[in-house]
Structure 1
C-alpha cells in the first residue's frame, strides 16, 4: 500500500474507497457505445436444397399490401418514430429527462433506418457470402423487449405490463417479417442494419419472437427466490456472448490449513473474439458455514476500481452478517487487470515502480512546480502502459468485468446472481444488472455511485467537471469532515485526542494546522499528504476516527506520526500483490470521462475548494491522471440503466460518506428499474465496514428470501463516533479491512 500516493485509488490507510459498451468513443478517454453486441452478417438468399420462400428474392419485391419491402420498412419505422415522438412529448411534459435521452437516441436510429437503403450496395458488398448469427438477432430482440417494457416512466408508463410486452413481441415479429421479405433497415429497437432472407431469416424470426415472449414472461413474473428457474439461454438478459462456456474452477485450499479455497478462471480477453487471447482471474471462496442450509453463492466486489477481492474478502469476511455466512458460499475475485489476475503492470520491477511513485507529490500537487511534476508523472505512466500491453488496456472496463462475473456465476452453477458490491462495486453491479437483467436473483449495492455522474450521462463531449466533482464527493467529504471535527470537539481528549474543548474551537484548530503545514511540513507530512490522509481516515469510524485524531494531534505537536500498522495478511498465496496506480487508472479512465486538458485542473481545484474546502482539492486532482491516459474501453457500457431486472435491487446509502455521497444512492435507486433505497443514518464509507445490526438484518432477509425493507426504511449505526466499539448483531466490529486503498 502506498500511503503517500495522492490518487483516490491509492491513498493512505484506512480502507479502500471507491472512488463504464461495444465501440470506443471518439471522445477522450472514454467509451460511448450504447449496447455491445455481435455485428450482424448477411446471409445468402437461399441455401442448397431449400424451398423458395415468398417475398425473399430481392429487397425490391412487394409485400401483400402491394408496397415494396423497403417501403414497408419505411412505413413501420415512420410509425415507430411518430409513436416515439408522442412518448417524448409526454416524457418532456412529465420532466423525465433521462428517458428523453433514451428516446432521442432511438428516434435517431429510426431516422437512420429511413435512409439506410441508400447505402445498401456498400453493405451488401461488405457482408456478402457470410452467414448470419441467429444468437445475435435473439439478443437484439431481447434488448428490444426490455427497452419497450422498460420505458416505465415514459408516456407508456400507464400501460399495463402485458400491453408493453405485447408491443415488444408485435414489433419484433413485424420487423422480422419485413426483413425476411428481403428488405434492409435499421430499426430503433434492433440497433443495427441487416440484409436477411431465405431460411435463415425464418429461423431468426422465430428466435426473435420466442425471445421477446420469454423476456416478457420474465418481466411479468414476480420475485420468487426460493424457486429460481434453471439457467437461462446464453443470450437472455444481456448481449450475446459467443462461445459462452463457463470456466472450470478447480478449488483447493489457498494455503495449507486455510479456511478459504482458491481457483483460477480463464476467460476471453475480448468477448467479441473469444477464440483469441485468454486471461486469468484469481478467485477465492469461503464455503457456507451452516451445515445443510446452503442456498447458493454470494459474489462480492470490494470496490476500487482496483480492489483485489482475493485479499479484501478474507480481510472483511467477519463483517458479513452471520446469517449470510451460514447460508451462502462467499466468492470474490481480483478483477481483470488487477492484483493476482492478469494485471496491468507498467514497470519492469518494484524499484522502477517506486522510483516513479517517489517522483510525484503525495496527496495532490501544491504550487506550479508540483503541478508540472504531477502532470508529467501521469503522462509518463500512460506512455509506459501503452508500450507494454495496449491490448489489455482496452479490455479492462467495468462491462468486461461484468461479463467475467456472469461466467463465474455459471461456473458456480447458480442460475441467477446473488451479489454484494460496495463503493465502485455498486457501479459494477448496476452494469451487470443492465447487461444481464434476467439473471439478477438478489443484488445489494452499498455506498453507491451515481451511474449517470460516473459516465457523464453517456455524453461524447469533453466533460466540464472531473468524475468526483460530478458525483459530489468533494461536498460529501467536507460534510463528514465537519461532523468529525464537531463530534471530536464535543468529546473529551480521552476519546478524541484532537479535541479543543468545543466543536468551533476544534474546527479552528484544524484550519490552523492546515495553514501551518502549507508553510512548514512536518518531515514527509506535507499539507497535501495530510489532507489525503484525513479524507481516507474518515472511511472507517472504529477505530479509524480515533487513530486519525491521534495523528492530527501528533502533527499539531510538531511531530511526525508513526506509520499505521498494516492489516493482518490473509491466508492466501499472494497476500500483498502489486497494486500500482495504473491498475485503478486502467479501469477508471476507460470508464469515466474526465477533462482532457491537464492545465484546467488548477482552476477546477480552486472552484471546488470554495465549496468544499481542503477535501475539494484532493478530489479534484483524483481525476487528473485520466487527462493523459491512453486507454479507451473497446467494449464498455454507459447506459441505459433502467432495464427491468428479474428481481428488485437493494440500494444502501450512508448519510455521511467521504467518497460516495448519499445523493448517489438516491440517484441509483431512481435510475434502476426496480430498486429499494435503505438509508443508513451513520458515518463512514459503506455500511458493511461501519456496522449497523439493523442494516444487517434487512440485508440478510433480502439475500435469503428476497424480502425488501419497507419503503422509506432507515437504520442507525450501532456505535456512534468516539465511543467504545462493541460487537453487535452477529457482525464483529473492529478495524482492518482494506487499509491503504480507496474503494
Structure 2
C-alpha cells in the first residue's frame, strides 16, 4: 500500500443533554490551579495498536445512551503522550485526526508534526470515537473480498457508466440492512454529539477542569459540538480544514464535487510538469480534456486484473485521483518513489486502457484497491469497521432524503456541472435507507462570547472546501479567527511543506493564547 494512502485513510475513514461542566479557568491560569480539583482515574498501559512508548492507553466506560446514563455502558479507548517538558506543562491538548476514523495513534502521528513548543507544554490525548476501532466497534458484516470488489461504493457511491443509479439503490438498501443486523442498538447512538459527550467524560477522567483541542476535518465539527455543549471546559481550540456546521449529512457529501474542482488546478499543473510520465498533455486544458477522455474510455471498457477483485474503470481512476489529491506527498518524487503516486496512477490507468500495461502498472493499480482495504483493517476489529463507520455518523447526525428521485436528479445535474467526480457525491448511500433516524437536532454552533477558536484552511482542499471554513467562521462569529493558506491539499498541519505563517499562528496561540487580531491570508 503506498505510504501516502495511510494518511489519506486516516483523514477519510482521516462524520441527550450535556453534562454540567465545571467553570473554565482563564487562559492564563496555571496548570496546578486547573487540575487541583481532581486526579486522573484512568489506568494507563500498553496500547492495543502496539504503539510504542511514550504513547500509552487506557479504557474508559461511557454511557451508550446519555439520556439514560446509568444504563448500558460501552468502551472508549483513550491514548496519551505526556508533555515533553513537565516543567512547562500547561495541560491537555485533545486531538482528533478526522474521518470519522480510528484515532488511538494520533498522539504519535500528529504529535510528530506539532511544533516542539506545543509538545513541550501539553499532554497529547486522543481516542477511538465510539463505534470505531477499539471503542466498541460497529460493523456491516462485510469481509475483505467484498470490500475490495465494492471499493468504489465504500467511500463515495459512483453511479454506473451511463449515470444510472439502480445498482447504487440496491447496494444502499442491502448495506443499511446489514449494518442494522450486525450493529443493532449501537447504531442509534453513533453521533458526533455523543462523541463530544464522551470527550467530556475523558476530560473528567483525566482530572482536568479545561482542555485545549486540535481537530482536523470531521474533527472540526466534533470540536465545534464539544464547545457548544461544554463551553466552559474549552481553553483553546484549533480547527484545521473545517466543515460547515450547518451543511451536514447528504449536503455535506455533495460538497466533495466542488472541493475537487477547487483542487484541480494543482493537479492539472502537476500533469503538465510531468507530461513525459503522465502523458495527458502539455497544457492544463489538454490534461483535463484527456483525463476526462481516459476515465470515459475506462467506463466503456473496464478492465479486470487477476491481481485484484476491483474493476479498473473510470470510477476507479476518479476515486483514487480524489484520494491521492488529499496530500501533496502524492505529487512529490522521493528517493523511494521517484515517480510520484499521482503520476503512477494516471500512467498506469492510461496503459491499462490502451492494452499495454506492464506488470508494474498492474501491481500499482491492484495495490491501491487492495491496500486501501488492508490499511483500513485493525487487528481484532471487524474488517469493514473503518470503511463502514462513516455512514453511521452521517446517518446518525442528520437524516438523508428517502426519495430515490432526489438522488437521480442531483446525480444527473452534478455529472454535468462537476465531471471530475461523475455525480458520485450526490448519489444515494445507505443513509437513504438507514434503520434508525437521528434522535434529535444537533447542538447549535454559535458564538458564546469567548474569543478562543483558530480556524486554519487551505484554499484548495479536495475534501473540506474553503466555503466550509467560511461557514464555520460565520457560525462562530467574532469568537473565531480564520487563517487561510494559498495551498492545496487536506490539512494545514499535515501538509508535507507546512506553511510557516499558518503554523506560526497555531504555535503562538497554543503556547501564549495570542490569536491573530483579524482574519488573515498566508501566502
TM-score (ref. length: structure 1): 0.60
Give the match for residue 584 of structure 1: 390
Deviation at 1:692, TM superposition (A): 1.8
8 Å CA contact 2:216–2:240 kept in 1: the answer is yes
Aligned 8 A contact 1:267 1:280 in 2: yes
Distance 1:444 1:637 in 2: 25
Structure 1 position 231, deviation (Å): 7.1
Q: Structure 1 pair 438/486, CA: closer, same or farther in 2 (3 Å)?
A: same
| RMSD after superposition | 3.5
- Give me the whole-angstrom Cα distance separating, in 1, the residues matched to 2:105 and 2:504: 26
Give the corresponding residue for 2:302. Answer: 521
Q: In the TM superposition, what are the counterparts of 1:14-93 in structure 2 within 5 Å?
A: 16-17=11-12, 22=16, 36=17
Separation in 2 of the partners of 1:615 and 1:406?
Answer: 38
The aligned counterpart of 1:358 is: 149
Aligned pair 1:407/2:201, yes or no? yes
Answer yes or no: is the 8 Å Cα contact 2:486–2:521 preserved in 1: yes
In structure 2, the residue matched to 1:633 is 438
Instruction: Name which of structure 1's ranges 251-260 and 266-275 shifts more when overlaid on structure 2.
Output: 251-260
Q: What aligned pairs does 1:145-224 form with structure 2 within 5 A after superposition?
A: 223-224=27-28
How many residues were matched structurally? 487
**Aligned with residue 320 of structure 2, among 526, 533, 544:** 533
In the alignment, what sits opposite 1:428?
222
Q: Distance in 2 between matches of 1:369 and 1:683?
A: 29
Matched-pair contact (CA < 8 Å) for 1:281–1:340: yes
| Residue 630 (structure 1) shift | 1.3
Larger Rg: 1
Partners of 1:256 and 1:540 in 2: how far apart? Answer: 24
> CA 1:427 to 1:506, structure 2 compared with 1: closer, same or farther past 3 Å?
same
Measured after TM superposition, the shift of residue 508 of structure 1 is 2.2
1:651 alignment partner, one of 427, 443, 455: 455
Equivalences for residues 312-351 of structure 1 within 5 A: 312-347=106-141, 351=143
Mark the CA change 1:231 to 1:516 in structure 2 (over 3 Å): closer, same or farther: same
Instruction: Please tell me whether residue 509 in structure 1 is matched to residue 316 in structure 2.
Output: no
Residue 669 of structure 1 deviates from its aligned partner by 1.1
Is the 2:193–2:443 contact (alpha carbons within 8 Å) kept by the matching residues of 1? Answer: no
Equivalent pair of 1:467/1:593 in contact (CA under 8 Å): no
Call closer, same or farther: CA 1:421–1:386 in 2, change over 3 Å.
Answer: same
Q: Report whether the alignment pairs 1:271 with 2:66.
A: yes
For the Cα contact (< 8 Å) 2:176–2:434, is it kept in 1? yes
- The answer to whether the Cα contact below 8 Å between 2:39 and 2:207 also exists between their aligned partners in 1 is no
Unmatched tracts of structure 2, length 5 or more:
305-310, 333-339
TM-score, normalised on structure 2?
Answer: 0.83
CA distance in 2, matches of 1:501, 1:544: 17
Q: 1:548 to 1:582 in 2, by over 3 A?
A: same
Q: Is the 8 A contact 1:281 1:334 kept in 2?
A: yes
Residues 500/265 of structure 1: CA separation in 2 closer, same or farther (3 Å cut): same
Contact 1:360 1:370 (C-alpha < 8 Å) held by counterparts = no
Task: Please state whether the residue corresponding to 1:557 is helix, strand or coil.
Answer: helix
Q: Which residue of 2 aligns with 1:286?
A: 81
Query: Which of 83, 91, 99 is the aligned partner of 1:296?
Result: 91
CA distance in structure 1 between the aligned counterparts of 2:52 and 2:35, rounded to whole angstroms:
34
Do structure 1's residue 252 and structure 2's residue 45 form an aligned pair? yes
